[in-house]
Amino acid sequence: MAKVIAFNKPFGVICQFSGEGDTLANYVNIPDIYPVGRLDKDSEGLVILTDDGYLQNRVSDPKYKKIKTYVVQVEGEITNTATSALEKGVKLKDGMTKPASIKKIEEPDWLWDRSNPIRIRKNIPTSWIEISISEGRNRQVRRMTACVGFPTLRLIRISVDRWKLGNIKVGSYVSF
């Protein structure tokens, strides 16, 4: 039976088990388990880990079009023009993105304090969106929001395919 772990990755943690700095090894002490895809150091939220190579490939390979959903705080009051562009796909340096599903949302009431707070500019408001994508390019959501003029300030992954972040505490994990 495959081991599957859902981990709530804190800001600043590197999504690997070895190397310098704060890594997954500081939070998950289960042998022969590996992350399914990556979540960059500056991002937070759901990371799936497994010991099943087949499952890892089926979830992380873009050809299987598994949906990943993020809650994103952006700089500025995001416009309908920007969300429409994201829904259609935007041109990045490495090509067009596939269409994304976008929803403007209120700041989530379940947010935790971050160890390194986001920068705040008194005269520039922020807004929140929920974005779902089926690709997994390097820092893709951040590059997409910047492309439409609304840089990402905070990014939290809340689901990967059928797995949800739910109420997993930051730095903790649950087994499935």
| 159: Cα separation from own chain's centroid | 8
Angle at 133 between CA 162 and CA 91, to 5 degrees: 170
3 burial (CB, 10 Å; 0-12 / 13-18 / 19+) is middle
Q: Which two three-digit tokens encode residue 67?
A: 């949906």
Rounded distance between C-alpha atoms, residue 159 and residue 69, angstroms: 5
Write down the catalytic residue from 22, 32, 40, 94: 40
Alpha helices per DSSP H over the chain = 53-60, 80-88, 140-147
Q: Does the active-site annotation cover 22?
A: no
Instruction: List the catalytic residues.
Output: 40
